Amino acid sequence: MKGTNLGEFEELVLLTVGILYDNAYSVAIQKELSKQSGRKITISSIHSAVYRLEEKGLLNSRMGDMAKIRGGKRKRIFTISKAGKVALAKASEIRNKLRSQIPEVAWQNLS
Amino acid sequence: MSEFSNPPRRALKLLRFYCSEERLEEIEGDLCEVYNEFIRERGKKYSKIFYWWLVVKNFRSYALKRKKMKNKGLIDGLFMFLKHNILITWRNLLKHKNTSVINIAGLAIGIASFLSIYTIVQYELSFNKEVPDANRIYRITSSFSGSFKSTNRGVAVPVSGHVKETFTGMETVSPFHNFSAKVSIYKEDVKEDMGRQRTIILADESYFDLVSLDDWIVGSKESMRDPFKVVLTASQAEKYFGNKNYQGMMDKEIIYRDSLKVYVSGIVRAPEYANDFGFTEFISYPSISASWLKERFGSDDWSSTNSSSQLFIKLHPESNYEDVLSQMDELDKYVQEQNEGQDWIQSYNLQPLADLHYNQDFGIFDYSGSSTHKPTLTVLSIVAIFLLLIAVFNFINLETVQSTNKSKEVGVRKVLGSGRFHLVGRFLTESVLITFFAVIISIPLAHYGLIFFDEFVPEGAVLRYQDIGFWFLLILLTFGVGLLAGAYPSWITSSFVPIKALKSGFNLKSTSMRGSWLRKALISFQFLFSQLLIVVTFAVVLQISFMLDKELGFEEEGVIYLFTPWYETDEKKELLLNEIARIPEVQEISMNGAPPVQNGYSTNTVKYQKGEDELMLNPHQKSGDTSYLHFYGIELLAGTNLRPNESANEMLINETFMKDLGFEMPRDVIGLNLELNKKDYRVVGVMEDFHFRSMHHPIQPLMLRYNESNRCIAMKAGSGDQLERTIDKLTEKWDAVYGEIPLTINFMDETVSKFYESERKTSKLASLATGLAIFISCLGLIGLISFTIVQKSKEMGIRKVLGASVLQIGSILSREFVILILVSFAIATPLSYFAISKWLEDFAYQTEISWWVYGLGGLASVIIALASIFAKVWKASTSNPIESLRYE
């Protein structure tokens, strides 16, 4: 059932990967996303999201360099793929399209 | 990022344990980074717990080892491994055709003999096991003490009634009588003879409860309450009436001994499991008192016991065995009261059904064959296992010496990264596969073997294809034998160091030597077993011929004898006797109670007043007319022959009897008075000892008395044509006198040789096993020698060039085997001596087994071994040395 549809969290992760360009590995994504959204996000939820996105073909990845703080392990750097770009565009397009169709009156008298 | 702390070790271990290799590095790095950041931000407190928490939370599908994928890979891999191995094995088999044939043939023969013997033993052991409630069923048997000691499988007839009335805790009390009779049936008003049937019993309805015979086709057990009813088993009914219209058989008449007319009142299906209750017709119990049967079976005499009168009980499930035993004691007391005045005591015992098939003292039933000797089954099983082992040893030896052939393969595999266990697996697959072929071949071998050797295979012992256990056994054999045979060779072969194995000219020197002590031990064992069998077989044959050739002490040559029917009149007997006397070919006739040797025997109690003491003896007894001594050529040591007068109360005794009475000189005992049946008998002569029983028994005391009512007519009728003419005429006269009663003519020498039927069977079985063992071992030898020859071909070539003779070369090649055979000879000799002495213990008269018999075993195996390798050695030692040296 894995289409190219993006979940909300997936979309945020995908956007963050874009922001971090070439330094987008799991821990960095977690920090950036927490900072930007103010949400508390665990590392494992990032993991499950990026791996899922990679499986869907929306992210590409390669192994980066290692760091001492990582116990000498390399990190996996993610970048947005073409399909990822299309998916992001589609998502915001749908959103905008839907949003533009909401009648003005619906915004009034909100409780 | 001043300092770096390592995450807690155990949590890391857990992570590494469950995380897939693919993801581990990045995840481990990420977690480590997060962990360190946590420490930097909040200090070390709780940091460990935090890391643990991280690891646990990380336990998600993306990180896990892909179990499913991996498993599939494993099965695929295993399948590939097997497929590959099987293919290579197949190629190897084809490449080394000779060795493969020897290996498979040896194993197949070994497995086939194992299977056949297993089937026989299994069959014999399964007897009566499946009878419902078998553990609650007992037979009541008799044993006698006092003036004579004996056992009997039957009981006195009135016992059954008493047991029925007085015993408690019985589910069923079932008395029945074995009966055998000529059967005839009227078919469309024509009386048709069905021959003599031995599987008849006179029984009441309780019999059907006893053995749970309840698969009635028509009729019921209640019909057995009326006289002149008979129930048949389905197969017997079909035999009699020739069809399956069971309903139509009801109330049909069946005639026993031309005079007892009974009517079919039921047909029941017999069970298929192995059991001794193979009776096929059941005549209702009330028929006994209503017909002439009562004379034989209707007795109320507590002191007369006949082996055909059987009494079985089935205990109630709740009853206590101890209680039954105490009731049996009560019964013994009661019986003693009834037999007051007898000088012997009869006591009754319980024989469990499980013992019925195996008890040699009691035997099974009157009609049954001889009971199974359990120790024989044990010996058979041991032989089976050893035959299998010999074949396994062949395999081990051949595979071990052949391992050099696989050195290249092993080298290449190891270079390519095969571990030792892969290689062991590869060679084990090969041996299991070879065993599998052998098992496939052994099935028809065993199947037809069991049919072909019907002499010692009990009827009904066939491979049980319908039995899951049988197939399970085959699978077990395939893997058991395959792994057992392949373990050592595969271990050796897989141990090669790749560099050495790949170097050209890799020779076995280093590796084969390691296995050589084992190989030698295995070969020695094979020959040990073969020699043991050779010597034992030979000893059995010697003992048989000794027993047959031994002077019996009376004349048996050309003597034939027959018994007149006991239920016919004396007039008819006289008539027949006169007729026989008129046959010109008959040279001499004697009437007697029993010929000097016979299967059964009869003893009687004799009292002798020796001074103050009363001496009680239990000699065998025979009776005859005055011609007995002359007819059989029995010498009188002293005294005179009997007078033709029954009331003269005279007897002849044999030497042993005389010695038992305490006399040394025959003439001293003449005129002695002995009390027999409350009458005084006078000893008028002493006969020379003769063997009146088989050589299993020592000569026992014997007395001969004159008797007018003898049933046995013995005559000398020459041999060859003359004998045949006599028999023709005899049959004619018999038919004229007795009509349809069948005539059985016995030959004295046959009677004697029948004593040793089971020994003859043993000798045949032993020779068969010997042949198989030798054959399998020789197969192995041929395989080994051909390999040695290939290995040593250059050496032989050089030796020949240097002038070695054919004989020298031959001796170099075969020396090793001869030495091994001599070693095994040294071990086999005491073993076979022990085995033979044990076997000979059964005989009162034993042949001397001289030293050369043992020597012969060794010699025979050396000769057989040399003969089997002769062709190969001959070819090698006569071949042109150029052939083997050319390529250098």
Instruction: Give B170's strand partners.
Output: B315
> Using CA atoms, how far apart are residues B624 and B603, in angstroms rounded to an integer?
15
* pTM reported for the whole predicted model: 0.69
* Tokens 């056992």 sit on residue: B151
B/e letters for B534-556, b = 16+ CB within 10 Å, e = fewer, are bbbbbbbbbbbebbeeeebbbbb
For the ranges A102-111, B280-289, B631-640, the lowest mean pLDDT is seen at A102-111
Of the pLDDT bands very low, low, confident and very high (cuts 50, 70, 90), residue B566 is low
What's the pLDDT score for residue B732? 87
Of the pLDDT bands very low, low, confident and very high (cuts 50, 70, 90), residue A3 is low
Per-residue pLDDT at B875 exceeds 90: no
For the ranges A12-26, B168-182, B237-251, B783-797, the lowest mean pLDDT is seen at B783-797
For the ranges B217-221, B352-356, B414-418, the lowest mean pLDDT is seen at B414-418
Average pLDDT over residues B139-148: 80
Per-residue pLDDT at B55 exceeds 70: yes
State chain B's mean pLDDT as an integer: 84
Of the pLDDT bands very low, low, confident and very high (cuts 50, 70, 90), residue A1 is very low
What's the pLDDT score for residue B521? 86
Residue A73 sits at the chain B interface (C-beta within 8 Å): yes
**At residue B302, what is the residue type?**
W
Out of A27, A52, A63, whose CB is closest to B30? A27
DSSP-derived 3-state class of residue B367: coil
Q: Residue B743 has what DSSP assignment?
A: P
CB contact under 8 A, B62 and A73: no
Q: Torsions phi, psi of B265, nearest 5?
A: -125, 5
pLDDT tens, B397-433? 888 877 777 777 888 888 888 778 888 888 888 889 8
CB contact under 8 A, A26 and B36: no
* Tokens 């240097």 sit on residue: B802
From the number of C-beta atoms within 10 Å of its C-beta (0-12, 13-18, 19+), residue B439 rates as buried
> Using CA atoms, how far apart are residues A8 and B876, in angstroms rounded to an integer?
87
Per-residue pLDDT at B370 exceeds 70: yes
> Using CA atoms, how far apart are residues B278 and B263, in angstroms rounded to an integer?
21
Contact partners, residue B709, CB within 8 Å, separation at least 6 = B570
**At residue B283, what is the residue type?**
I
Report the residue count for chain A.
111
Say if residues B107 and B395 touch (Cβ distance below 8 Å).
yes
Out of B31, B33, B62, whose CB is closest to A48? B62
Out of B23, B34, B60, whose CB is closest to A27? B34
Q: Would you state the structure tokens that stand for residue B623, as one six-digit string?
A: 């009776």
* DSSP strand pairing (B260-268 vs B229-233): parallel
For the ranges B498-502, B541-545, B686-690, B834-838, the lowest mean pLDDT is seen at B498-502
CB contact under 8 A, B25 and A73: yes
CB contact under 8 A, B28 and A67: no
Q: Would you state the structure tokens that stand for residue B586, as one six-digit string?
A: 């008959």
pLDDT tens, B723-740? 888 888 888 888 888 876
Q: Which residues of A touch B63 (CB under 8 A)?
A: 47
Q: Which residues of B touch A73 (CB under 8 A)?
A: 25-26, 28-29, 32
Per-residue pLDDT at B69 exceeds 50: no
Q: State whether ipTM is beyond 0.90.
A: no
Per-residue pLDDT at B550 exceeds 50: yes
Q: Which of B5, B34, B56 is the best substitution to test chain A (most A C-beta atoms within 10 A)? A: B34
Q: Torsions phi, psi of B304, nearest 5?
A: -110, 125
Average pLDDT over residues B805-810: 84
* DSSP strand pairing (B679-687 vs B613-617): unpaired
Per-residue pLDDT at B350 exceeds 70: yes
Determine how many CB atoms are found less than 10 A away from the CB of residue B276.
Answer: 18
Average pLDDT over residues B52-61: 82
Instruction: Give B639's strand partners.
Output: B685
The CATH architecture annotation of domain A8-108 reads Orthogonal Bundle (1.10)
**At residue B571, what is the residue type?**
E
From the number of C-beta atoms within 10 Å of its C-beta (0-12, 13-18, 19+), residue B188 rates as exposed
> Using CA atoms, how far apart are residues A99 and A92, in angstroms rounded to an integer?
10
Between residues B612 and B727, the one the model is more confident about: B727
Per-residue pLDDT at B239 exceeds 60: yes
pLDDT tens, B660-694? 888 888 888 888 888 887 788 889 999 999 888 88
DSSP-derived 3-state class of residue B746: strand
Hey, which of B51-65, B138-152, B193-207, B756-770 has the most confident mean pLDDT? B193-207
What's the pLDDT score for residue B311? 93
Between residues B476 and B762, the one the model is more confident about: B476
Helices (H), B211-303: 234-241, 246-249, 286-289, 293-297
**Beta strand segments in B497-645, E:** 559-563, 588-592, 606-610, 613-617, 620-624, 636-639
Q: Which of A2, A44, A61 is the best substitution to test chain B (most B C-beta atoms within 10 A)? A: A44
Of the pLDDT bands very low, low, confident and very high (cuts 50, 70, 90), residue A80 is very high
* Tokens 């109690």 sit on residue: B605
First-residue to last-residue Cα distance in chain A: 38
Report the percent of chain B where pLDDT is more than 70: 96
What's the pLDDT score for residue B686? 92
* DSSP strand pairing (B620-624 vs B636-639): unpaired
Between residues B453 and B887, the one the model is more confident about: B453
What's the pLDDT score for residue B581? 86
Q: Residue B135 has what DSSP assignment?
A: G
Domain ranges of chain A: 8-108
Of the pLDDT bands very low, low, confident and very high (cuts 50, 70, 90), residue B439 is very high
CA B346 to chain centre: 33
Report the percent of chain B where pLDDT is more than 90: 14
pLDDT tens, B827-855? 888 998 998 888 888 888 888 888 888 88
Rg (CA), chain A: 17
What's the pLDDT score for residue B552? 82
Of the pLDDT bands very low, low, confident and very high (cuts 50, 70, 90), residue B1 is very low
The DSSP-derived string for B268-289 is EPPP-S--S----EEEETHHHH
Q: Which residue of B has its CA nearest to A29?
A: B30
Helices (H), A57-81: none
Residue B58 sits at the chain A interface (C-beta within 8 Å): yes
For the ranges A85-99, B56-70, B389-403, B409-423, the lowest mean pLDDT is seen at B56-70
What's the pLDDT score for residue B149? 67
CB contact under 8 A, A26 and B26: yes
**At residue B682, what is the residue type?**
R
Sign of CA dihedral B53, B56, B60, B64: positive
Residue A62 sits at the chain B interface (C-beta within 8 Å): no
pLDDT tens, B512-539? 555 577 888 888 888 888 888 888 888 8
Q: Which residues of A touch B28 (CB under 8 A)?
A: 71, 73
pLDDT tens, B615-626? 888 888 888 888
* DSSP strand pairing (B344-352 vs B137-146): antiparallel
